Amino acid sequence: MIPPYDSDDDSRPAVPGPVGRIRFMDAQRVNLDGFAVENPELGLVALASPYDPKPGLVVEDGVVTEMDGVKAADFDSIDAFIAAHGLDLTVASEAMALSDVAVARMMVDPSVPRSEVVWLCAGMTPAKLARVLALLRPAELVMAMTKLRARRTPSNQAHVTNRLDDPLLLAADAATAAAFGFRELETTVPVLADAPSNAVAVSIGAAVGSPGVLVQCSVEEALELELGLRGFVSYAETVSLYGTEQVFTDGDDTPWSKAFLTSAYASRGIKMRVSSGAGAEVLMGGAERRSMLYLESRCVALARAMGAQGVQNGGIDGASVAGAVPRGVRELMAENVMVMARNLESCSGNDALMSESDVRRTSRTLPIFLAGSDFVCSGFGSIQRYDNMFGPSNWNAEDIDDYLAMQRDWGVDGGLRTADPATVAELRERAAQAVRAVYAWFGLADFTDEQVAAAVDAAGSKDLAGPDTVAVMHAARVIRETGLTMADVVTALQETGFEPEAERLLDMLKVRVGGDCLQTSAILTPEMRVLSLVTDPNDYTGPGTGYEPTPERQAEIDAIRQQRSVEDLRREQAAYASDALRPRGPATQGGDPREVVVGVSPATGRDVWVTLSGLPVVEVLRQLLAGLEEEGCVARIVRFDDTIDLGMIGLSAARLSGSGIGIGLQAKGTALIHRRDLAPLANLELYSIAPVLSADDYRLMGVNAGRHAKGATPEPARNPYTDEAIEARYHTRVVSLVAIERACCRAAGPEELTL
Amino acid sequence: MTSPGRRAYSGRPVESVTVESVRRGEVTQDDLRIHPETLESQAVVAERHGNPQLAANLRRAAELALLPDRDVMRVYEALRPRRSTADELSALAGWLDERGCPRNAALVREARDVYVRRGLAR
């Protein structure tokens, strides 16, 4: 938005500003996002552009002579590669003859096996598959993703980076990410020369956190390959594809160089996937008036043609461009489903932050999270936003608990698990110590105890003392120039007392020899079992089939660290126990017209000692009594053991009271004023929202009860107002407190108490 | 972890590579390198799982497994846009043929023809 310009020219008529309601709406965070008018000329169109080619395929003598309206002689390099390698010509004529809607239905219909869909899609041109995917509505995309993803078990990938490339913090954060369940960690660098140091630090940290975590370092293609060849990373992902030839070659590659790179990684047993996604071509001004989905369809067809096992897509760096146009977020998900339909691993975006709005960014991820993907996020920012050297992610460190709660809410496996706080602390310490030991072993750097302690405790790099950027660069240079390999790191770990980590890093090198991680959608379990399209194929064919968390995994998903049981609450309450409230015998009917009885619930001062607002119940009673005393009233405290109903407690208190006015108090803090002639559910004044009540509120209730007793009509006290999710915060505790009250209930007469 | 009996590039069974043997300096790079035959067998698996392109890639990889790192890096660099003339690409393909990499040689020749037509040769 262009800010208003103050002009002296007062000849323009004054335009009235928007009304308050609209000004208020304008100020919401979602309006920081850009929203673009659909514009095919600029490629600002999600699912279908009028300039997208019509699907078509002509094959003569086993050779593609025309594809999507382009003759072979006019193929650009992307067309040429797809036509030469990408299409299964044995099924092409059958597949291309199917109507778009027929294929779309097959993708959604659980009774059509996944294998049949991927077999047909192998014969479809980019324009054809784009048209099919454009037909799927959001709920249908969820169904298609549930069925079509290659691996049965969903997983997740994290970003682990920081502004300083601090190796101690990288290792601590990598161990933390592994502890939270991420099975792939992606690092990168603000300073390219630091890359070898980052790759080593994250690999060590990951090995501390869990066996079998795959690690990559996203840098320029040639350097990334070198890191892979030397064993410093265990997979690669930054092999970018683009949907137009111009942008592709601006990226300094061709389909052939990328295909070669794909084979180069495989030749060393290293897992790799390519990256693409909507919006990249638009940002580079090279969309050639095509829709985002069509351009991405070319990328995905090319990925398959090259023999890459998987694709990271769903916007990625261009996600906010897709998010700016109508149906753009739907397009992002369609890209992922397209990858799955081509029988490839999907690392499904949810990577770059696509909105300032928490609602929009959740909305963007939720359907994919529900359906399950090979990797729900192609980069969950497990670190602070400011430390994310890819730029902030759609999900960041502050969202981990949200994500875990979402898994629990839906009973869905999004790849993460709760990490015990004490375990996190131990792992961070061990990871930082391991990196310190290895760096010292090689003479790369000497870190101090203070530096280790700071990295262990740090929430992010802003918590570290000072950047030691020279040391990192020096370490990285030495690693690169002295020809160190990961096998040397294994030795260093072994020699410095980190045997299990040495073992785990060596296992990652041995995995390459077996080559099982080269198959589609491969990840390693903590037991070093390979899960892939081959060993763990998705077998969803409708309700009751497909992936279901094991009971152990379900328990892991359910047991977030914030959950509390009644017993937890009982222990918490017992810590506040006191002997201030003592029984004095059976309660009797009072006769003093200035007397007010405060009736308390069964558990008050017995098993429950603190109200929901954190006030000791004894203090609440003192305030009520002080208020009554202020009005010159006489107070008695009586416990009613036969009910937990506050109305009945208040009414019973009123009936015992000489003035006919009583106060009812539940141990959790809810309180009311009652009169002996009212119905149980009626009352004079009520504090219903116990969590927000203060000592002053209870004192005021005491004063008002005194005034009622004296026959006055005081202005009723009002519940303090809050717009917070007060019920979400307290309802589970209320349920537990009520259970405790119920357990204290017994058939007994009222009992006089002294304070 | 890995299929039993898998042998590294050197022929050494991967199970025999231990942290202790690494520490004693008894493990060479080739003991931790994939064998071309393993890539071939993975290609067969990929084919069986509906992905002939992945299989073709793994077969090109099996050829490249024979090349030292620096040669792999060199071929990649030569294939990037406008790095090589058509003749240089032809020569590169010939060299790959000589080194027992006919599939990669074919890929380079295919690239050469498209590069010339699309202005991607030097």
For the stretch B71-104, pLDDT in tens is: 999 999 999 999 999 999 999 999 999 999 999 9
Residue B1 has what pLDDT? 39
Residue A378 appears among annotated catalytic residues = yes
Q: Could A518 and B22 be called an inter-chain contact, meaning their C-beta atoms sit closer than 8 Å?
A: no
A157-212+378-558: which CATH topology? TIM Barrel (3.20.20)
Tally Cβ neighbours within 10 Å of residue A104.
20
How far is Cα A329 from Cα A348, in angstroms, rounded to an integer?
Answer: 12
Q: Would you state the CATH architecture of domain A569-754?
A: 3-Layer(aba) Sandwich (3.40)
Residue A268 has what pLDDT? 95
Q: DSSP characters for A525-572?
A: -TT--EESTTTSB----STT-S----HHHHHHHH--TT---HHHHHHH
Among candidates A215, A188, A178, A214, which has minimal Cα distance to A430? A178
Q: In the predicted model, what is the mean pLDDT of residues A485-506?
A: 97
Residue A7 has what pLDDT? 58
B68-122: which CATH topology? Hypothetical Protein Yqey; Chain: A; domain1 (1.10.1510)
Chain B residues whose CB is inside 8 A of the A518 CB are: 39, 42, 58
Please, where are the H alpha helices in A154-288? 167-179, 195-209, 221-229, 245-250, 255-267, 280-283
The share of chain A scoring above pLDDT 90, in percent, equals: 92
Measure in Å the smallest separation between the Cα of A502 and chain B Cα atoms.
7
Closest residue to B39, CB basis, from A266, A344, A506: A266
Residue A2 has what pLDDT? 62
* CATH class of segment(s) A57-148: mainly alpha
Provide the 3-class DSSP secondary structure of residue A322. Answer: helix
Find the helix or strand (DSSP H, E) in which A634 lies: strand A634-639
Catalytic residue among A184, A186, A296, A607: A186
pLDDT tops 70 at residue A6: no
Residue A16 has what pLDDT? 85
How far is Cα A596 from Cα A706, in angstroms, rounded to an integer?
Answer: 7
More confident residue, A140 or A16: A140
A600-615 pLDDT, tens digit per residue, is: 999 999 999 999 999 9
Per-residue pLDDT band for A1 (boundaries 50, 70, 90) equals low
Q: Where are the domains of chain B?
A: 68-122
The mean predicted confidence, pLDDT, of chain A is 95
**Nearest-CA residue of chain B relative to A72?**
B114
Provide the 3-class DSSP secondary structure of residue A347. Answer: strand
Measure in Å the smallest separation between the Cα of A433 and chain B Cα atoms.
20
How far is Cα A675 from Cα A655, in angstroms, rounded to an integer?
Answer: 8
Residue A237 appears among annotated catalytic residues = yes
Q: Where are the domains of chain A?
A: 57-148, 157-212+378-558, 569-754
pLDDT tops 90 at residue A443: yes
Chain B residues whose CB is inside 8 A of the A266 CB are: 39, 57-58, 60-61, 64
Q: In the predicted model, what is the mean pLDDT of residues A570-597?
A: 94
- The torsion region of residue A715 among left (phi > 0), alpha (psi -120 to 50) and beta comes to beta
Chain A residues whose CB is inside 8 A of the B101 CB are: none
Among candidates A452, A457, A481, which has minimal Cα distance to A468? A452
